[in-house]
A and B are shown apart, each in its own frame.
Chain A
C-alpha cells in the first residue's frame, strides 16, 4: 500500500512539477507533510537544508529521503524512480512534439502564464512552514531569535542574493550559539 502511495504521489509531482526545484519542493511539502504526514514539518525543513547542501537535484534528494523513511531502501528507489517516470515518457513522446517552433512558443507562453501561480504555490509552502515547530521561540516575552534569523535570511537571500549554503551554515552556527 505504501509503495502504491509513494508511486502515485511522486508520479503526480513529476507531472505537475512545472517551474523548477522550489515548485516541486512545495508540492512535496504539501503531499508529504500535510496530506500523508510521512514527515513532520521540522524534519522536512531539516531535509530541505540537507538537500541544499548536498549535490544533486533537491527534489530527487527529498524523494529519496521520503521513500527511505516510509518504506526503507526499496521505497527510496521507488520514490526517486516515480519522480523521473513522467520525464522518461516525455522524452519519447512529447519532446519531439515540442521541438517544433510553433508548439515551443505555445509551451513557453503557457509557462509565462503559469509562473504567477507557481510563485503563489511556493509562497504558500513557505507560509505553511511558519509554525511553532519551526519557530519555537516565537511569541510575547520570548527571545524571537528564530524570527530574526528568518528575516535576516530573507533579506540576505532576496536583496543580496546570498549563497543559500552559506546562509544555512551561518544560521546553524547561530542556533548552536544561542539555543
Chain B
C-alpha cells in the first residue's frame, strides 16, 4: 500500500507541474523513477519507453501505467494512472466553470480572438514538422495529401482513414521485417 501511495504521489506531482505535454514529462519521470527511487533500471526504462511510444493512447498515461504495473502490479498501475490524470481533471474542471462564466466578457473575448488564429498555427506547424521527420519524399507525399483530401474535403471520418493507414503500414512493416530476415539469412 505504501509503495502504491508513493507511486501515486510521484506521478501526481509530475502531472501537476509539467507543462508542454508527454515529452516534457518524460525527463521528470526518468528522474524520479530511475534516478531517485531506483524503481526501474535505466536500460529497461528506455527499452520500455521505446515500446510505449509506438502504442496508441495518451503517452503520459501509457508511461504511468507501465511504470506502476512494473513496480507494484495492478494496484501500482492504477495508482500511477490516477496520479497522472487527477491534476489535469481537477485543473480543467476548475477552469471550465470559470471560463464558461467569463467567456462572454468583452475583455476575455478580445484576448481569445487573438489566440484562436495562433492555435490554428500551432496545429499546422507540428504536422509539417512530422512530415519532415517522417522523411516524406515526393513519391510518398501522396499519403499525407490523400489523407488531407479524405478528411478535410470529403469529410470522411479520420477513424476510418487511420484504420486504413494502420492496415497499410502493417503490411509495409511485415514486408520490411521479411526483407531484413532474408538479408540476414543471406549474410
Out of A24, A46, A64, A106, which one reaches B99, CB within 8 Å? A46
Structural contact, A106 and B174, CB atoms closer than 8 A: yes
Most buried by A among B121, B163, B173: B121
Nearest CB in chain A to that of B91: its residue? A54
Residues of A within 8 Å of B116, CB to CB, are 42, 45-46, 49, 134-135, 146
Residue-wise, chain B 154-187 has the 8 Å CB interface mask toward A (1 for contact) of 0101110111011011101110110000000000
Residues of A within 8 Å of B114, CB to CB, are 146, 149, 171-176, 178-179
Count residues on chain A whose CB falls below 8 Å from chain B CBs.
108
Within the complex, the shortest CB–CB distance from A13 to chain B, in Å, comes to 8
Residues of B within 8 Å of A120, CB to CB, are 127, 143-148, 151
Residues of B within 8 Å of A49, CB to CB, are 112, 115-116, 118-119
Interfacial residues of chain A within 24-45, with CB under 8 A of chain B in the complex: 24-27, 30, 34-35, 42, 45
Interface contact tally, CB-CB below 8 A: 367
Structural contact, A172 and B95, CB atoms closer than 8 A: no
Residues of A within 8 Å of B52, CB to CB, are 95
Out of A19, A76, A95, which one reaches B93, CB within 8 Å? A76
Structural contact, B125 and A154, CB atoms closer than 8 A: yes
Residues of A within 8 Å of B41, CB to CB, are none
Interface size class of B (residues with CB under 8 A): 35 or more
Within the complex, the shortest CB–CB distance from A108 to chain B, in Å, comes to 5
Structural contact, A117 and B144, CB atoms closer than 8 A: yes
Q: Does B75 contact A (CB under 8 A)?
A: no
Structural contact, A136 and B122, CB atoms closer than 8 A: no
Nearest CB in chain A to that of B120: its residue? A129
Provide the bound-state CA to CA distance between A146 and B116, in Å: 8
Residue-wise, chain B 105-121 has the 8 Å CB interface mask toward A (1 for contact) of 00100111111111111
Q: Does A168 contact B (CB under 8 A)?
A: yes
Provide the bound-state CA to CA distance between A129 and B60, in Å: 26
13 contacts between A and B (CB under 8 A): A45-B116, A50-B92, A60-B61, A76-B93, A86-B57, A108-B53, A110-B54, A117-B165, A119-B147, A128-B152, A146-B114, A157-B122, A172-B115
Further pairs besides A60-B60, A120-B146: 4, Cβ < 8 Å: A54-B91, A60-B88, A115-B130, A124-B151
